[in-house]
Amino acid sequence: AQKVTQAQTEISVVEKEDVTLDCVYETRDTTYYLFWYKQPPSGELVFLIRRNSFDEQNEISGRYSWNFQKSTSSFNFTITASQVVDSAVYFCALSGNSGNTPLVFGKGTRLSVIA
Amino acid sequence: KAGVTQTPRYLIKTRGQQVTLSCSPISGHRSVSWYQQTPGQGLQFLFEYFSETQRNKGNFPGRFSGRQFSNSRSEMNVSTLELGDSALYLCASSGVTHTQYFGPGTRLTVL
């Protein structure tokens, strides 16, 4: 069975601090896909990144960066110089080998950035 | 491209009633998935439709059903509503990259 664990339920930081959101996953598939989504108070899940299991390169997009380590089954997300607009719930998700399988979500991490 | 749209955005129903939610995918996307989000259970997969066929199904009772039309629009129906069905229902569409893009959701309250 597939499982995603986000151990941090809530994180609170002061604006401009860096923050890392942890994600640990379990799967028996050799090919799989990992995702991060952001859910602001409006409720819509906003897609941030997709990474397949064969691509362990870290990725940076502006203030966002992702660290994928297959050896520890982790896909962590770092926000550099956090801003109040980053306040949201962040979900890590996993889908199986065909890419057409349903997303399995972690419980989410609520990030509050205080001005 | 327009994003995924869901109607209605908010619904209030009473126990025992039924409800139909609608989802219009991103143009060109043929797969539509539905998820239920509650504070206790988090985000749970309901079902997925592709080319008018149910391709995957989550672990929900038969009161939850769905369908997809030839234009890829999808509806989900919940019959005999229970208090526990109160949730945010999210629809997502995906295309050839299999990345799921979500709509704003329908917030259902069952009284």
Q: Which pLDDT belongs to residue B71? A: 94
Of B101, B30, B100, whose CA–CA distance to B69 is shortest? B30
Q: Which pLDDT belongs to residue B78? A: 98
Q: Which pLDDT belongs to residue B20? A: 98
Chain-wide mean pLDDT for chain B? 96
Return the bridge partners of B24, or none. B5
How does pLDDT run across B2-39, given as a tens digit for each residue? Answer: 899 999 999 999 999 999 999 999 999 999 999 999 99
- How does pLDDT run along chain A (115 residues), one tens digit per residue? 899 999 999 999 999 999 999 999 999 998 999 999 999 998 999 999 999 998 888 888 999 999 999 999 999 999 999 999 999 999 999 998 766 789 999 999 999 999 9
Q: In chain B, pLDDT over 90 holds for what percent of residues?
A: 95
Of A15, A20, A21, A9, whose CA–CA distance to A114 is shortest? A15
The number of beta carbons lying within 10 Å of the beta carbon of residue A78 is: 16
Q: Which pLDDT belongs to residue B66? A: 97
The region, left, alpha or beta by phi > 0 then psi within -120 to 50, assigned to residue B62 is: alpha
- Cα B56–chain centre separation: 13
Let me know: does B85 contact B71? Beta carbons within 8 Å: no
Closest chain B residue to A96 measured between Cα atoms? B98
Average confidence (pLDDT) over B72-92 = 97
- Cα B44–chain centre separation: 11
Q: Which pLDDT belongs to residue A99? A: 61
Q: Which pLDDT belongs to residue B96? A: 87
Average confidence (pLDDT) over B41-55 = 95
Q: Which residues of A touch B33 (CB under 8 A)?
A: 102-103
CA–CA dist B61, A17 (Å, integer): 45
Q: Which residues of B touch A100 (CB under 8 A)?
A: 31, 48, 50, 55-56, 98
Question: Is residue B9 less than 8 Å (CB to CB) from chain A?
Answer: no
Interface A–B counts its CB contacts (< 8 A) at 52
Q: Which pLDDT belongs to residue A92? A: 98
Q: Which pLDDT belongs to residue A96? A: 85
Q: How far is CA A27 from CA A31, A34, A96, A97, in A?
A: 9, 11, 8, 10
Alpha helical stretches, state H, A1-115: none
B70, with CB counted inside 10 A (0-12, 13-18, 19+), is: exposed
